[in-house]
Structure 1
Amino acid sequence: MSGAGSTAVNTLLPTSIVGSLPKPAWLAKPEVLWSPWELQGDALVEGRQDALRAAVHEQQRRGIDIVSDGEQTRQHFVTTFIEHLDGVDFEKRETVRIRDRYDASVPTVVGAVSRRQPVFVADAAFLRQQTDRPIKWALPGPMTMIDTLSDHHYRSREKLAWEFATILNQEARELEAAGVDIIQFDEPAFNVFFDETKDWGIAALERAAEGLRAETAVHICYGYGIKANNDWKATLGAEWRQYEESFPLLQQSSIDIVSLESHNSHVPIDVIELIRGKKVMLGAIDVAREQIETPEEVADTLRRALEFVDADLLIPSSNCGMAPLPRGVAFDKLSALSAGARIVRQELGVDVGVGAGVGVG
């Protein structure tokens, strides 16, 4: 199989995950975000492929319709991509404030950024070989990339974002050619830098997605279930309305799918109305706690969402990546997600395998 649109989901409410799955212990230390590899050299290459195979197997076994790599071949959802670019010095590091939330040691932009060769395309082609289901691949968005660096060259967040958007578009086009059906851009920075999102963030995102025949998605979340993010969430009050800043802009954009955090959050469900007409990848699984949702809890989240999005545009998913969770917990959450979606499909009078298609036809 090759080329965009090689596969399509014919299930109403097709399930998916939006980010990472936990890596096996022989590949990286369990329950640690961005853990170093336990293997080296050829053993690491083989180990990452084995982990990707296992992630695909578990997704399919647990009833996930749109399959991803679970980020098994990368340590970090942003910096693993940046590591492969020219113009960034990973030895020269500085401490910066990430998304106005926590301090982190990051690499430095020391020259013009460019991509000498594909970064994830070989891994995506390997994923394509493992399944006949539609596949989704995630890339960091331009604004989130610049927020994970110290820039000593461009001296302009906007200029650097546009450079990254061009590089991301090159990568996305090659991912599409490798058979990826949905290309997801992760932009948690959209929930923090509202003025930049409006002034150039959406435009840079559209540049990254320009000319693609594969479906495009943007994922905007409140972060992994780690202390820094949980502490920040505790300051946001009884209702989290950050999506009200970006959703009206995205509703008018060329992006096909908008992915948001919902279950067990303080995001008012009616914000989905702001992206009416777009496909909605709704987080119906909480990644900030180990308690496994019941299928009925998942179904209830989906039912409430259906007041604001048509059923043929709803994609049940996880809130964010699950890398810090115990592996068994993450997999059981996948089972709950698919079981909850099945309940709602049955209530809608639609059998599995019948419904609106997802993916490029």
Structure 2
Amino acid sequence: MNTLLPTSTAGSLPKPSWLAEPEKLWSPWKQEGEALHEAKRDALLLSLQEQSLAGIDIVSDGEQTRQHFVTTFIEHLDGVDFEKRETVRIRNRYDASVPTVVGAVSRRKPVFVEDARFLRQQTTKTIKWALPGPMTMVDTLYDSHYRNREKLAWEFARALNQEARELEAAGVDIIQFDEPAFNVFFDEVNDWGIACLEKAAEGLKCETAVHICYGYGIKANTDWKQTLGSAWRQYEATFPALQASSIDIISLECHRSRVPMELMELVRGKKVMVGAIDVASNLIETPEEVASTLRAALQFVDAGKLYPSTNCGMAPLARSVARGKLSALCAGAEIIRQELSAR
């Protein structure tokens, strides 16, 4: 990318009300069959247009064709039974009814490749595609087959690598793995989580990213944040190993969080997606608020490696709020570009 401070989103954007119930995670589809396929494509086009109108440099599908950032990929794998459900604790934070791993996990066909190819046909901009990371996938299931988190993660990593290679061949420029679990299970991250992540990215020539946040702006996550004290230092436990990893871009939650900015020093040399938009609030940032976050980040990240982004996905927000936040992100980045060019 030649653009200085290229803007992007962390992943999801709100779905239009004719596709799924708005402002809700895991919202059921309002169409079925061919009508649903067409509605998803229409929503993808609309999402692309809204990103482009806001000025987003690195565009995505806005996750319009999937119900959830983790489970939609898992639905297409062999070995997981979505009818057989168990209640598990997700990221030590909240209980959810989840599908069960009942046999050997494998990917029998592409999941997002056709959607990625369709998106590539619609734009000449840099495209980023998000996939769930192996550890976060493990944490979103009940495993009655492997009964071993690490073994299951390695199988998921192999399936993800197959998908990622085909996404790259379809024209995706950046493949992002979403690993919010990296902010919770620190020993596992360093023991095998980063190794599994590197396996998922193995052999890719396009850029790779890992998105690590404190979760969507839902009550379970915002309540958890209240227990984390005045300084959120979770990144400190994993950034040193990520700095030494093969992943190109590291994302972190920044704006209106209590993450000490200096923790970015731990990934010095990597490209950093700095979350400059709060997704847990309907309050739309001003461009100057965004610029202030980016200015602070520039103390620890070289300008050529700073990627302004959102803290997390925006699926639970109203579309008007998300539009305002995207515009603020781009306007704030432009303020900093002007300041840098004036030096």
Q: TM-score, normalising length from structure 1?
A: 0.94
Tell me the residue number matched to 2:228. Answer: 236
Q: 1:348 aligns to what SS in structure 2?
A: helix
Select the residue among 250, 263, 273 that pairs with 1:258: 250
Q: Deviations over 1:121-159 (max 9, x none)?
A: 001101111111000000000000000000011111000
Alpha-carbon distance between aligned partners in 2 of 1:11 and 1:211, rounded to the nearest angstrom: 26
Tell me the residue number matched to 2:329. Answer: 337
Alpha-carbon distance between aligned partners in 1 of 2:282 and 2:329, rounded to the nearest angstrom: 14
Alpha-carbon distance between aligned partners in 2 of 1:242 and 1:131, rounded to the nearest angstrom: 37
Q: Deviations over 1:163-188 (max 9, x none)?
A: 00011000000000000000000000
Task: State the 1:32 CA deviation.
Answer: 1.0
Tell me the residue number matched to 1:47. Answer: 39
Alpha-carbon distance between aligned partners in 1 of 2:259 and 2:137, rounded to the nearest angstrom: 25
Task: State the 1:238 CA deviation.
Answer: 0.4
Tell me the residue number matched to 2:183. Answer: 191
Task: State the 1:11 CA deviation.
Answer: 1.1
Task: State the 1:34 CA deviation.
Answer: 1.5
Alignment of 1:83-232 (within 5 A): 83-232=75-224
Alpha-carbon distance between aligned partners in 2 of 1:110 and 1:297, rounded to the nearest angstrom: 48
Runs of 4+ displaced beyond 3 Å: none
Tell me the residue number matched to 1:271. Answer: 263
**Counterpart code for 2:40:** R
Structure 1 unmatched ranges of 5 or more: 1-8, 352-361
Q: Deviations over 1:247-299 (max 9, x none)?
A: 10100000000011000000011110000000000000000000000000000
Structure 2 unmatched ranges of 5 or more: none
Alignment of 1:6-85 (within 5 A): 9-85=1-77
Tell me the residue number matched to 1:355. Answer: none
**Counterpart code for 1:54:** L
Alpha-carbon distance between aligned partners in 1 of 2:82 and 2:20, rounded to the nearest angstrom: 21
Task: State the 1:10 CA deviation.
Answer: 1.8
Q: TM-score, normalising length from structure 2?
A: 0.99
Q: Deviations over 1:30-89 (max 9, x none)?
A: 111120001111110000000000000010110000000100000000000000000000
**Counterpart code for 1:263:** H
**Counterpart code for 1:138:** A
Alpha-carbon distance between aligned partners in 1 of 2:3 and 2:245, rounded to the nearest angstrom: 26
Contact in 2 for aligned 1:136/1:183 (Cα 8 Å): yes
Q: 2:103 aligns to what SS in structure 1?
A: strand
Select the residue among 294, 305, 322 that pairs with 1:313: 305
Select the residue among 281, 291, 301 that pairs with 2:293: 301
Alpha-carbon distance between aligned partners in 2 of 1:19 and 1:67, rounded to the nearest angstrom: 9
Q: Does residue 1:280 correspond to 2:281, yes or no?
A: no
Alpha-carbon distance between aligned partners in 2 of 1:234 and 1:350, rounded to the nearest angstrom: 40
**Counterpart code for 1:63:** G
Q: CA RMSD in A?
A: 0.9
Alpha-carbon distance between aligned partners in 2 of 1:205 and 1:116, rounded to the nearest angstrom: 21
Contact in 2 for aligned 1:12/1:350 (Cα 8 Å): no
Alpha-carbon distance between aligned partners in 1 of 2:14 and 2:232, rounded to the nearest angstrom: 27
Q: 1:106 aligns to what SS in structure 2?
A: strand
Alpha-carbon distance between aligned partners in 1 of 2:108 and 2:193, rounded to the nearest angstrom: 25
Task: State the 1:321 CA deviation.
Answer: 0.4
Contact in 2 for aligned 1:251/1:278 (Cα 8 Å): yes
Task: State the 1:350 CA deviation.
Answer: 6.8
Higher relative contact order (CA 8 A, sep 6+): 1
Q: 1:34 aligns to what SS in structure 2?
A: coil
Task: State the 1:301 CA deviation.
Answer: 0.2
